Structure 1
Amino acid sequence: MVQKPIKEQKMVLIILLSNIFIAFLGIGLIIPVMPSFMNIMHLSGSTMGYLVAVFAVAQLITSPFAGRWVDRYGRKKIITFGLFLFAVSELIFGLGTHVSVLYFARILGGMSAAFIMPGVTAYVADITTIKERPKAMGYVSAAISTGFIIGPGIGGFIAEFGIRLPFFFAAGIAFLACILSLFILKEPLTKEQMEELSSNSKQSNFFGDLKRSFNPLYFIAFIIVFVLAFGLSAYETVFSLFSDHKFGFTPKDIALIITISSIFGVVFQVFMFGKMVDKLGEKKLIQICLITGVILAAASTVISGFWMVLLVTCLIFLAFDLLRPALTTFLSRSAGKEQGFVAGMNSTYTSLGNIAGPAAAGILFDLNIHYPYLFAAVIMFIGLSITFMWREKQFAENVAD
């Protein structure tokens, strides 16, 4: 395991960051074309919700295995396999003419995300010094955000030349990343290190951890995690469908709104998040973001016009962008000696919310296009109510025991 300064490993880091960027770019690419795709294939809103949810289900189920395989088989193999799987899933989705094929493609996509994420983060941790690791992990996080931001924009513009083209483009760049990784990346671990890691990694009992999370003091925190993921994913899933059905926005319009809103959110997060946490504390910031989310989700049903939609979307995306890191920071700070358990359960409850939210939003969209937004507002209001039951000192003491 060679740990060198970042300056000496630029090429390897660029390849690793490109891999994670491409995976999230591919996920973002398809957002603005989904309404048109839905119309062409005569799909219902509930089907679109299930297509988003099935990706999260596959990722949730595959993640525990992927984490262990990264140690057992090595970082490079898992990363390249994940990229190959991602390319195949995008290609199948682009070619799909029957809904069952689309589901299969989304399952492969969710599995690929479960392989790429731990592979890249473990590789980056292996090759960086402890001092430079936070900086390198910051780069990984930035690559994910940038992929999400640029993805819808590129997808919207490529779709002008053909509605299936964004999927083929995503497949092409993923295959390219897979080939580059195969030839340029070297496995950072020796065979002995892999065997040692594999034997050391206790097969953590997922169901045991889940049972522990029902402890009343943990449970309130994790229920908030679930409620937020549920509400946010419900809102985000139907955004492009809502904009298409209600306002007749084109993929290009939707791409523009999502791209501008995402850039606004990320810039604000980078420059203001730390200052806001220092001034307000995580709990108060979470509550302010939730109040904003409730009001704007409800307002989304009555506004009209491109500029008004852009303004409300910018503000609601900003609330979401501040909410996620505030909640993660709060949990991490309160976790005491139980960082692994709390981080694992944070991820699990987020995934469960990401599965249930889009599925519920899709079903409600078929009943009335305003229902998913009103439902998201209600869910976030429930989350807000629960935060007032949250005793952070008690939680921290309990975890430290």
Structure 2
Amino acid sequence: MNKREKLNRISLILLSLFVVMLGYGILLPTLPYYTERLALKDNLDTDLINFHIGLLTSIYPFFQLLFVVVWGKLSDKYGRKPIIIIGLIGFVIMQLLTGLATSLTMLYTARIFGGIFTSSVIPVSNAYLSDITSEKRRTKVMAWSGVAISTGVIFGPVIGGLLSQTDIHLEYSLGLLHLDRFSVPFLFASLLGFIVLLIISKWLKNTAKVIKFNTEKRSLRFSFSKYFIIILMISFVMQFVVTLFETVFSIYGKDELAFNSNQVGIGFMICGSVMAILQPVFASYGEKVLSAKKQIILGLLISGISLIAFPFFKNEFLVYGLIVVFAAGGAMVTPNLLSAVSLISQENTGRNISIQSSTNSIGQILGPIIGTWLVAAGFYYPFIIAGSVILISIGFVLPSMKLKDTLT
């Protein structure tokens, strides 16, 4: 394919990643307030509300974990496009159910449904990008994937905050469905997802070859080499910490810092902005200064220290500043890990990226649950423990890494 066609395909994939993460971003600052509104109908106390916040956050990646490898294998066999389309359909339905929820049960149903189907979008989209790019340019393209994801997280909280403002007077009920100001951002995300679904269906070409599943033990051993396992361990630590931070920060901002949903949303917007700006910078120019391995070490160090310091500062601007530092560390780590996984095996790229996504999902499951559990003991504990986990991962994981050429 020529350069223009390749650029068009990359743009379409980035669009699908953006809209899915936009929906994710919309929920980040609003989930504590939205859950509280639904939970108060059942007269739940603060600890139970926080428990539901953590569980609602965790149940989504839990079902992603159950299905993501299935989608990866299907995409290797049937091509990337059909699986991406299925994921976008699931995204649209999930946003509709969330926006019209009248109870915690409906909210759980929406999260479960979304976890099952949207688990295909990010790993399969990244596999598509890997299919159409050379090894030399893969890190840069994966960094742009990170930019699309981060950009969704940037605009999602802003849209969620603006569209759910109290000056929007809207309320309508129809049976079990309820429409009010909290519904608007999710309905907007559903509509946007439907538009992107139509665009992808019409314009995106299915490039992945149909290949047979390789059931030989040799292939399995190759995929789960020591190199791959260590990459998965680092991915797990980062996702565990990031989702713990996302869940606890929204509760911490609401209860400890007395932030409203807009202020919490600004924090997530800053985090996403830094990731979106710095990921392509590190991917394009980072290795001219530091090797990818050293970037990962430095990124983990920066993120760990910033999290440990986080609960000791109450000033709004200092809090935002620490978020900048934390996000900068993550921006050093993420694209290098994703690029490393995509280079392990060209034949099984979809499966390997899906396995990494599954590992990420385990971290995303445990992070919110452990984070909200630690909140009950005090807001210092989740941040300090999460930061310590990152620092420990440097000492136990990275010195033993015998990385391939891309990370040496």
The TM tier, using the shorter chain, reads: 0.7 to 0.9
1:227 aligns to 2:237 (yes or no): yes
Q: How many equivalent pairs are there?
A: 380
Residue in 2 that maps onto 1:391 = 400
Among 198, 201, 206, the alignment partner of 2:213 is 201
Distance 1:31 1:165 in 2: 15
Amino acid at match of 1:232: V
Amino acid at match of 1:352: I
Kept in 2: contact 1:282–1:329 (CA 8 A): no
1:52 aligns to 2:64 (yes or no): no
Residue in 1 that maps onto 2:295 = 285
Question: What secondary structure is seen at the aligned counterpart in 1 of 2:120?
Answer: helix
Among 187, 211, 214, the alignment partner of 1:168 is 187
Kept in 1: contact 2:142–2:338 (CA 8 A): no
Note the C-alpha offset of 1:98: 2.4
Distance 2:6 2:286 in 1: 34
1:144 aligns to 2:138 (yes or no): no
Question: What secondary structure is seen at the aligned counterpart in 2 of 1:30?
Answer: helix
Kept in 2: contact 1:90–1:168 (CA 8 A): yes
Task: Decide which moves more: 252-261 or 280-289.
Answer: 280-289
Kept in 1: contact 2:92–2:190 (CA 8 A): yes
Among 17, 26, 34, the alignment partner of 1:20 is 17
Distance 1:47 1:86, change over 3 A: same
Note the C-alpha offset of 1:271: 2.5
Residue in 1 that maps onto 2:35 = 38
Distance 1:284 1:20 in 2: 28
Distance 2:24 2:359 in 1: 21
Distance 1:209 1:37, change over 3 A: farther
Distance 1:286 1:131, change over 3 A: closer
Note the C-alpha offset of 1:315: 0.9
Distance 2:113 2:192 in 1: 17
Amino acid at match of 1:318: A
Task: Decide which moves more: 306-315 or 221-230.
Answer: 221-230
Residue in 2 that maps onto 1:5 = 2
Q: What is the Cα-based RMSD across aligned positions, in Å?
A: 3.6
Amino acid at match of 2:321: L
Among 348, 371, 374, the alignment partner of 2:384 is 374
Note the C-alpha offset of 1:6: 4.0
Kept in 1: contact 2:223–2:345 (CA 8 A): no
Amino acid at match of 2:235: V
Residue in 1 that maps onto 2:374 = 364
Kept in 1: contact 2:90–2:118 (CA 8 A): no
Distance 2:348 2:73 in 1: 18
Distance 1:280 1:106 in 2: 40
Distance 1:274 1:185 in 2: 29
Q: TM-score, normalised by structure 2?
A: 0.79
Distance 2:51 2:222 in 1: 29
Among 91, 95, 100, the alignment partner of 1:90 is 95
1:185 aligns to 2:185 (yes or no): no
Note the C-alpha offset of 1:226: 2.3
Distance 1:362 1:148, change over 3 A: same
Question: What secondary structure is seen at the aligned counterpart in 2 of 1:20?
Answer: helix
Among 117, 120, 137, the alignment partner of 2:122 is 117
Note the C-alpha offset of 1:68: 3.1
Distance 1:125 1:292 in 2: 29
Among 312, 334, 338, the alignment partner of 2:322 is 312
Task: Decide which moves more: 128-137 or 15-24.
Answer: 128-137
Kept in 1: contact 2:271–2:324 (CA 8 A): yes
Distance 2:301 2:59 in 1: 30
Amino acid at match of 2:276: V
Residue in 2 that maps onto 1:253 = 263
Kept in 1: contact 2:342–2:353 (CA 8 A): yes
Note the C-alpha offset of 1:314: 1.0
Kept in 2: contact 1:277–1:326 (CA 8 A): no
1:322-375 Cα offsets, whole Å, 9 max, x none, are 122344456678x59998586565433322222211221122223423322122
Distance 1:57 1:35 in 2: 19
Residue in 1 that maps onto 2:272 = 262
Query: What's the % identity of the aligned pairs?
Result: 26
Distance 1:73 1:374 in 2: 45
Residue in 1 that maps onto 2:309 = 299
Q: TM-score, normalised by structure 1?
A: 0.80
Task: Decide which moves more: 55-64 or 8-17.
Answer: 8-17
Distance 1:343 1:186 in 2: 21
Distance 1:251 1:41 in 2: 16
Amino acid at match of 1:157: L
Note the C-alpha offset of 1:376: 0.8
Amino acid at match of 2:376: D
Note the C-alpha offset of 1:146: 1.8
Note the C-alpha offset of 1:262: 2.3
Kept in 2: contact 1:262–1:314 (CA 8 A): no
Residue in 2 that maps onto 1:70 = 75
1:121-169 Cα offsets, whole Å, 9 max, x none, are 565567x575997476665443223222222222222221423322121
Kept in 2: contact 1:268–1:318 (CA 8 A): yes
Distance 1:372 1:114, change over 3 A: same
Structure 1 stretches lacking a partner, 5+ long: none
Note the C-alpha offset of 1:24: 1.2
